[in-house]
Each structure stands twice: as structure tokens, then as C-alpha cells.
Chains A and B, each alone.
Chain A
Amino acid sequence: MSGGPPVVIGHPRTSSARPLRDVLGRLGVRRIVVVDDVRLAQIVADTAAEPPQLLLLHAGLPGFSPDFLMALRENANLRDVPVLVLGRFPAGTLRGELMRAGATDLLARPLTLAELSARLSVHLDRCRLDRSLQEVIRSLQTYHHGAMQRMALARQMQLGLLPDVAACRSLEGRYGIALDSHFESSSELGGDLWGARSLDDRRFALFLCDFTGHGVAAALNTFRLHALLARIDLPADDPAEALRVLNGLLVGLLPEAQFAAMIYAVVDVSADRLVYATAGAPKPLVRHTGGRLEVGPSCGLPLGLASEARYRNHCLDFPPGSTLLLFSDALYEARRWDGEMFGYGGVSDLVQGLDDSDLQRPLGRYFATVPRLLADDLTVLWISRNGRPRSGPD
């Protein structure tokens, strides 16, 4: 052992501490401070700057007692420093009192130098291991703190990809709908993305995309898609063609075995219908007035797998009073408390129980059924045709 904090020897006759110094020196201790009772008090007062790695106290120090040890331990900087007491301890009661007062170990004389060396070696090794462990812990804490800060920033950036409240209120006012959403990643970052945009006074488009996996890699893909969507002009009235275009851009861009399930839909509030296409996405659900449930078909290769993939448009009635639910597969693949999959049946029950207020009530019921710690990213979009669009120019 070399370097490191000093070993402090408290001895009533500092000149007699030479054998102790020699043993410590042979054990590799480079910094040894020998002090009497007066200087010990000063050393203790200075521990904030650098606590010793070990205190070796001679029981013959003036004023040494269990109370003296207890006072040492009250100093926060000495609370974890090993304190060894060297002396003759004929009475068992004294030995017990010293240990209870804070002594780490008692070095009872008579003691050969070889035994003293062996005993000190054990404690010095323990000190070194403890310092190494503390350094590792500090390093991990620093890394963890930094990683959490970076993750929090990245999460804010990812949430910034989603339509904000103003955008949602604008769609609601323009098309006479109520729009609610739920976005919950299974870890700090997720692989889901949704968006909506106006096409004209009677139509708006919306999409929900779910990249394979979750976490950082999947989140990076959502940024890729968001950037692609910002710089291309998707065909407004043809969801299948929109998916074909996006697929063409993602093939070759995504690594092997990574792809995206996506639904792209155009809602026409004038024609009271929904035209959509899917690429491996869950089936959309429409709850009609009176509670009748309509499950739309879904078929199509996920995006990014095959350049030759083609998609099909499907049409669902979406009249006033009805509610549309789009969601990522986490909604029905989640396991309930009893271990069973929530399933499409569970989702259907949720949707049938919807009212026109918002998404929060059914989600509350959902999370009473499945553990909150989701295994996958969850996005749910809820669009209710609860009014008429405002009139006005395009």
C-alpha cells in the first residue's frame, strides 16, 4: 500500500512509537503521523480536510476512556474510520465498554511484532478495499446522475415530437372532435410516435407508429421517422400510398430485424368516414352510438422490411357520436395481474364502456387490471365525434 490518507498513531510517548511506525512502514504505509493527546485533538479537529485511514490509539493516552472513544465517533468525519486500541485490558468489562464505545478492534498486549503486523495488515487491507469501493460507488453515482440528466433531456425531446395541446385543440375546434391521447414509455425513452395534421376543412390525417423494441434504439428510430415526415409531402388522400412511400424510405435505413408497425388514417368529417391503411398495426376500433363496436381489418407488412411491400386502404363509418380508438400493441399484449394477456377482448370491453368524456376513465380501469410497469411502450389515441366542425374557409 502506498499513498492514501495517513495512519495516525496516538501515543503518550511519541518517541516510544517507533516499533509501530516500523511495522506500518513495512506494510507499505507511507504517511504516518505520531501524536500525543494534545496534538490528537488538533488532528481530530482537522479531519474535515482529510480523515485518516486508520487511528491506532495507545490506551495509555492521558484521558483515554470509553467516553473519549464515543466523542471521537461523534465526529462525522471519523464515524467510519477504523480505530484500533493498543493496551493491556485485564478486565473483560473494559474490553466490552471500549468495543461498544466505538473501537474497531483491540490489540491486547503482550503482542509480538509478527502478530501486530498480521493484525494491522488485515485492517489496512480492509481500509484499502473500502476506499476502492467508495471510489467505485462515487464513480457510479456520478455516471448515474449524468445518465439520468441526459435521459430526462432526451425524453423531453421525444415528447416534443408529439402534437402539443394547442395543436390538438386546433384540430378539435376545426373538425368538431374531441381528441385525447396517452403516451407512456416502458423506460425513459420509447419507440412509439403519433401525429396528426389538417388536410383541408373536412379532412385531417393521423398516424400511430410503433418501432420494434423499446428504449434508446427504438427512440432513435422515432426521431428518424419524425425527420422524414417533416421533409416529405405524403399523399393527402391515400393512406396506403402514404405507407408505401414511408416504407420505401425506411427500407435500408433501419438495421436488420428492426421495423415499424404503423396505421395511417384520414378522417373525413364531411363524409362521416375513416380511410386508413396499416402496416402490421393493431386493428382500429370504432364505437358507434348505442355501444355497437366495429373492428376494422388490419393487414400489411411492417415498414422497413421489404421494398416491394404494398398496402391497402380500408374504410370505416365514423359518424357523429362515434368514437375511434387507435393504439399500439402494448395495450392488448400487456399481462393482467393474473398473468393472462389483456387481449383484444379486454380492449373491446374497454371501448364499449367508453363515454364521450375522455380517455382517462377507461385508462384508469385498464391500469387497475394490468400492472403499471409496462413491458412495452403504450400509445392510445381517442377521437370522438362529439360535435360539428366550425364553418369557415379552407
Chain B
Amino acid sequence: MDYTVHDSGNLRELEMRGQITFEADTDFRAIFAAWEQGGIADCVLNLSAVDYMDSAGLGLLVMANNAARQAGITFRLKHPRGQVRDLIEISEFHTIIPCEF
């Protein structure tokens, strides 16, 4: 997985690419660490270019949601596609993390 950061005012959009699995753990921790430095009020995870996510990836979304709450950041998901969308819908993750389909 890799990602690009787009900042606009206090909104940060993270454009994720590739696969979100256990191997993405280090990247997510770097994302959380950046939140703690302040200056961000909202963060959107753009999933449109993520082609695969497994249950460990869902676990990372849970961790991201908790980390955002602790940092006082509004966290949401955006544009999941294919298998990622199916997984989010089957798991109803959009009921605990706002998701724009």
C-alpha cells in the first residue's frame, strides 16, 4: 500500500492505493503520528484506488477511527470500490465510520 496526502486548510485527504492488509500497519501508524502534531480537523480516507482489503485492514480502520477520536479529528471514508466496498457493506463498517459511497 502507498498513499498521497492532500491538505486543504484543516482538511486532510489521504489517497490510498493498493492493498490494505496487515502489512499496512506501519503506514497507518505514521498517519496517526501525523494527526497528533495538530492542524488537522477532518481526515478523509479516499479508498477509490484500493483494490483489496482484508479483515486485518478493517482492523486498521478501527484503529484509525479510535486514533482520530483521541486526536479530536473527524474521520470518514470515501469511494470504496469492488471488493473493498463489498467488505465494508457486509461488515457494516459505514455504521461506525461515516462512508461516502
A contact set with B: CB distance below 8 Å: 210, 212-213, 256-259, 261, 278, 280-283, 298-302, 305-306, 309, 329, 333, 341, 343, 376
Contacts and interface: CB of A to CB of B under 8 A. Distances in A.
Given A329-B54, A376-B54, A280 B92 contact: yes
Contacts of A343: 83
Chain B binding surface, main DSSP class: helix
B90 interface: yes
Interface in B54-96: 54-56, 58-60, 62-63, 66, 83, 89-93, 95-96
A256 B58 CA distance: 12
B101 interface: no
Given A282-B90, A299-B92, A212 B56 contact: yes
B59 A257 contact: yes
A301 B93 CA distance: 7
A251 to B, nearest CB: 12
Given A282-B90, A283-B90, A298-B90, A261 B96 contact: no
B52 interface: yes
Nearest to B95: A301
Contacts of B58: 212, 259, 280, 302
A259 B96 contact: no
Contact of B54 (A300, A302, A306, A333): A333
Contact of B55 (A212, A278, A299): A212
Contacts of B95: 301, 306, 309
Nearest to B63: A257
17 contacts: A210-B55, A212-B56, A212-B58, A212-B59, A213-B56, A256-B62, A257-B60, A257-B63, A259-B59, A259-B62, A261-B91, A298-B90, A301-B92, A301-B96, A302-B58, A302-B91, A341-B83
B24 to A, nearest CB: 12
Nearest to B59: A257
Contact of B92 (A256, A258, A300): A300
Nearest to A335: B52
Nearest to A301: B92
A375 to B, nearest CB: 8
Contact of A341 (B52, B59, B63, B66): B52
Interface in B22-64: 22, 52, 54-56, 58-60, 62-63
A256 B64 CA distance: 11
Nearest to B22: A213
